[in-house]
Every structure is written in C-alpha cells, then in structure tokens.
Structure 1
C-alpha cells in the first residue's frame, strides 16, 4: 500500500490528538466569551445594532498565535418624521417641503408647540398666513414655549415700541426673532449694545440683519468692541465711543465675525493701500467698514485683480491705490464682474481716466450700464464733453435727466 498523504495544512503542521482537543475547547470558550460580550454590548447600547465580524480562518487555524479582535460597527437608527405633526402643519397651511429643507430635524420631534405659537402670534395681531409663513421659513419656531415667547416679545417690544413693529420684523425675518433660545443672554446683549451707544432703531436693524449678534455670548461681542476700542486708540483716535458706534452701524455683520478676520482685513487694507494711521482711520469710518466682514482671501483676490486690470490699461500704482481708496466697495466686485463692467464702458469710447474719477459707476449693473450708454448715444450725448456721471444715477434721477436731454 502506498503511503497516505496528509492534507496540505496537516502536512505542514502535524499536531497530536490531545493538542487538537485542547485547541477545540479553547475555541469554544473564546466564542462563548465573545457572544456574552456582544449580548452585554447590545443591552448597554439600547438604540444601536452591533455587527460582529470575526476572522474565522484565524480561529480555526491552531497554529495562529495572534490575538484576535471584534470589529464593531454602531449604526444609529434615524428617527422618522412625526406624521401627526406633518399633517397638523399641512392643515395650518405650512409649506412642509420648505420646512423640511430648512430644518428637517424639527419634523421628527414628538413634542412641539405649534398651536401655542399660533395662538400667541394671533393674539399679537398676526393672521394665519403670517403664522404659516413664519413656520415654513423657520420651523424651529414651533419648539418655543409660551413662556419663552412672552419673555422674548417683551424684550423686542421694549426696543420696537409696538406689537405691529415686531410683527413687521417677524414677517421679514423670522430667524431674527426665533434664532436665540437663551433669554438671559439676549437681555445681556441688548443691555451691552445699548451701552455702546446704539439706539433702539439701530438695535432693531441689527436684530433683523444680523440676528447671530444676539445669539452670540455677550462676552464675544464685548471682545470685538474691546478690539475696536484698542484699534482706535492705536491709530490715534480721540472719540472711541463714536468710532465703535460708527463701525457697527456701517457694518451690521461685524459682530458676527471673528476678530482674526477683521484684523486681517484691516492690516491688508493698510498695507495694500499704503495708508498712514490717520488715513486708515478715515477709511474705516467711511466705506472701509463695509469690507471688514468679508473673507480675507476674497478681498485680496479682488484687489489684485483690480490692480492687474488697471495696470494693463496704462494706469500707475498710485492711480490704482487712489481709485480703491476713494471707493473701497469696489473690492466687492469679483474679477469677472469687474472685467465685464470695465470692458462695457470702454467699448463706448469712455476713457479709463473718467472711470477713475467716477468709481461709483461700477456699482451699476452691467445690463443697466449697457442700456443707459446705448440710449445716451442714440440722442448724441457726448461722454467726453459732458462726463459719465449720469450712468451712476438712480433709476428715477436718470430718467428725469434723460427727459431733459431730449
């Protein structure tokens, strides 16, 4: 008889019967411990499902002397929408699709206060359409309790002086009213910003345009004000309170930004425009304040584009700096927008120097510019002789002036 050949695995690793029995027992005990651990984990996790994966080839191979591990993946069950809530909102006239896009988590809540919100707002003079619009645009409003609404309304009423004015703000921007859930922090912010010198009208504008200001911790707003105070003193200013008030009223979004961003933009403006401390102070108290909340990289990109375009048209560095200094909002214009407007004006025969003298003409939309230039050219208007000031007029002023030219 031929010699019996063992399978490949056994030929490489001959083991005794006793050894096999011991290893089998060890594997059974290991599996038992694993199942017990998995059961404990399932009980502990509650709403999670545990998926256990084991490398079986490592367990069945008695020669493996490596530690094995369990791969556990926790999958959180996503709660479904509250169908009863969705039906109630639809019956109220709420645009559920809009609400779902804006704050989908609200539609999954089991406890909400949409009826209380409706009764409260209607008691203040709101109609059903306004209530439905508010919930559609800011669904989180239905999570506010009656007590919360009463306290917040009292604060707003103290600033705006009447329920109808609060409703007007609520209609324009429901987020501005419902965003902050911390009443104590809201009170601190109102008190602090009033101490800075902001009037009720200015506080109201701030609430509408930059509601995050009032959701910030009061300490963060105070840090920005302190920074502006130090900046003003460092630049040689004499009326710090008025300076801070001017900056905030000119740029309502400033308090919603980080000091790092504001500081970077100020330093760039001073360096790029080669400004003295006094010139920088004048810039910030004017149009320059509008730029401080912009992305720093965006400001730099637009400035470099303006410089590149104007230098290519024969302007000097000094002309570029003077151009931007006279009207800093030019830095809002993206490279493509700036290029398109410059090309549109120059094609009509207007000289680049005329644009440098009237930078606000670039505030006008390109379609409006094209139409106005064409209409003026049709009646024989001479841009070289009579200037380009008409192009930057408001619609009403332009039409009135155009009639006089006919």
Structure 2
C-alpha cells in the first residue's frame, strides 16, 4: 500500500501550500533587499566582474551600506599591480573592503609597504588574506605599534608580514598583550637551556610556523611546561617539544595531556620512560583526545599491528584511521605485509608513500632473470 501511495505521489507532484507561502515570502524578501541595495555599489561591482550574487548570498549586508568605495578599492589594487581577475576575486571574497575609507586604504598601503615593499608580493598577500589588509581604522594605531615592536625584536620583515596576514587579530590589539606572550616564550626557551644568541632565531621560526600562538595565555604555557617536567621530561626534551609542537603547548591543558598520556600508556603497556620517548617521536599525541586516540589505536590493532611495533614507530599515530586502512590495503596489493615488514612503509607524506608503493611494485614485477639476455660464454 505504501508503495502505491509513493508511486501515486511521484506521478502527481504537488507543492505543499506551506512551501508555496515560504517561497513567496522568500521572493518578497529578496525583492525588498534588492530595492534597498546601494545601486552605485552593485553597478560598480558588476563592471569589475565581481560575483555579486555570491556576495548577496554570503554578505548581502555589504550591498546595503552607504557610502561605499568600490572604485577606490579597485584602484588601489590596480596601482599595486593587481590584474582585473585578481581584483574581482578579492572583492568577491572580502566585499567589506569597499566599506573602508580611502584614507584608511592608503594608511594600510603605507603600513604594509614597511614590511612588504615589493608590490607584487603585497598583491599576493592581499589576494590570500584580504581581511588582513582591509581592516577597521580603529586598529591602525595598534598595528603601527605592533609592527614597530616586532621590528625591534629584529624579526625579518617577511615574518612580520606573515604574522600580520595570518593572525591579524594579534596586530589589532594593544602591543602589551603580544609582548607578554613573547616574554613568556623567550623565558621558556632560555630556562629550558636555549642559548641567548639563538633566541631570536628560534622565536622567529616559531612565530612563522604558528602566528596564533601570540593569542594564547602566557600563564597556561608556564603551567603546561611545569606539568610535562613533572612527568619526567628533561629540559632539553621539553625545549624540543616546544619547538616541534610549534607553540601548541600553550593551547593544551595539564588535565587533557594527563588523560592522553594515561590512555596511550595503557594501550601500549609501556613504562613511563618509554612513554616519554614515544611522545618525543610523536608530539602530536599530546594534542589528541581520548576518543581520537582510541580510534587510532583500534584502527592499527585491527590492521594487525602490535603494540611493540607502534612503540618502535610511534609516528603512525599521526595518521587517521582512514589513511591507515587505505595505506595498509595499498601495501598489501604491492605484496608488503606490515605485520612482518615493519611500519616505516606506512608513514610519511602522501608523496613519500606513493614513491614507496612504486618501488615495492617495481620490485614485485621485476623478473629474477632476463630471459632474452645473451649468455656469457668463455671464448
């Protein structure tokens, strides 16, 4: 009976009355919105081949604002060397740019030129991070102060530009907030045995890898370092962890790390000292929740991997269960058994793994001897 009803409904589709009302309401709302749009803004965007429909769907409120400076924003980008398609992409991705006052645009241009003097490179930055360039005027003073502060630290201009682009929030707040985190990072580096002559190089590398570390709590960083020291990590090992985790130690908590360590030790059945070595080889273990770790251990054990193998190659815990299952099947197809051949072939980047599979396949297909090669005979 239900099949007959379904068939009948399919033959005579009728739009529910409620759906028609909703559709009509949506159309009326769209009509009202179009009527309220700033026609000058819409026309200017159309002339630049900007995807106005996409703006309507995602950030329609921008089209309602007055005044808007579409031509000024496009003109600034073109002066820097941006092509028409690049201008269209920037304004589609970040239409709020047209709400920035021309004076603010010029102020941003001069500020960014101090750390990214090559206009072509600056266009590339704006194309990837338009919201970092077209910012609120009230943040400009903080930006100036932060740029000056990081330059006083002798950070490379490229690094400062990368910080501004990747973590604009850190440059939109008082310089004192960033200074607290920088002081905490420097203190941790030196207290853990780092050399004073290398601290700026270390800091520069850390900030370039994870600019968001500036937004973290300096006190949490100290608590986490002390917790790990209590777990038996030496100062040198802690310095290595701080570097390998790219400052992510500042985002964790002692309680979360305690649970991750306890779960991993139980799953591996190893000593405290061996667990420390596992973490040093796979620092990401500290960042995973118990649920994620359970899934990854289950996936490896289900594939026939033993705890002793994981202890020898703990980096496999960085791989998701889906990746492990896929790679195990690929290796099996190449005649490789991870249970006897080891887990080294399982790890690495996608490119490294594909190269390993290629070599295994060639080795499998290579004949033991060449039947057409001439035999050597003594004269």
TM-score, length basis structure 1: 0.69
d(CA) in 2 for partners of 1:333 and 1:99? 37
| Count of aligned pairs between the two proteins | 323
The counterpart of 2:216, out of the listed 237, 257, 273, is 257
* Separation in structure 1 between the aligned mates of residue 327 and residue 319 of structure 2, nearest angstrom: 10
Within the alignment, does 1:350 sit opposite 2:305 as a pair? yes
Choose from 72, 76, 83 the match for 1:116: 72
Looking at structure 1, the residues matched to 325 and 169 of structure 2 have their Cα atoms a distance apart, in angstroms, of 39
1:93-143 per-residue CA deviation (whole Å, 9 max, x = no partner) reads: 444565467666644432221221112212322234333332333233112
For the residues of structure 1 that align with 2:311 and 2:89, how far apart are their CA atoms?
A: 46
Partner of 1:179, secondary structure, is: coil
**TM-score for both structures, normalised by structure 2:** 0.73
Instruction: Point out the more displaced range, 105-114 or 354-363.
Output: 105-114
CA RMSD in angstroms, aligned pairs only: 3.0
Equivalent residue in structure 1 for 2:179, among 211, 218, 222:
222
What corresponds to 1:322 in structure 2?
Answer: 277
Partners of 1:132 and 1:339 lie apart in 2 by 46
The answer to whether the 8 Å contact 2:166/2:211 transfers is yes
Correspondent of 1:245 among 181, 204, 211: 204
Native 8 Å contact 1:350 1:383 kept in 2: yes
Counterpart-to-counterpart distance in 1, 2:90 and 2:359: 47
State the distance in 2 between where 1:233 and 1:376 align.
45
Hey, what does 2:32 align to over in structure 1?
Answer: none
In structure 1, C-alpha distance between the alignment counterparts of 2:141 and 2:224, rounded to whole Å:
33
CA 1:87–1:247 in structure 2 vs 1: closer, same or farther (change >3 Å)? closer
Which residue of structure 1 lines up, in the alignment, with residue 149 of structure 2? 192
Q: Does the CA contact (< 8 Å) of 1:85 and 1:107 recur in 2? A: no
Does the CA contact (< 8 Å) of 2:73 and 2:102 recur in 1? Answer: yes
Structure 2: distance between partners of 1:221 and 1:372:
43
Deviation at 1:293, TM superposition (A): 4.5
Distance 2:221 2:53 in 1: 37
Please report how far the alpha carbon of residue 372 of structure 1 lies from its aligned counterpart in structure 2 after TM superposition: 1.5
What SS does the aligned partner of 1:289 have?
Answer: coil
Alpha-carbon separation, structure 2, partners of 1:153 and 1:351: 58
> Which protein has the larger Cα radius of gyration, Structure 1 or Structure 2?
1
Residue-by-residue CA offset, 1:181-214 (whole Å, 9 max, x unaligned): 3334323322221222321232232233212222
Compute the displacement of 1:303 (Å). 4.9
Q: Which of 359, 363, 372 is matched with 2:327 structurally?
A: 372
**Which residue does the alignment assign to 1:275?**
233
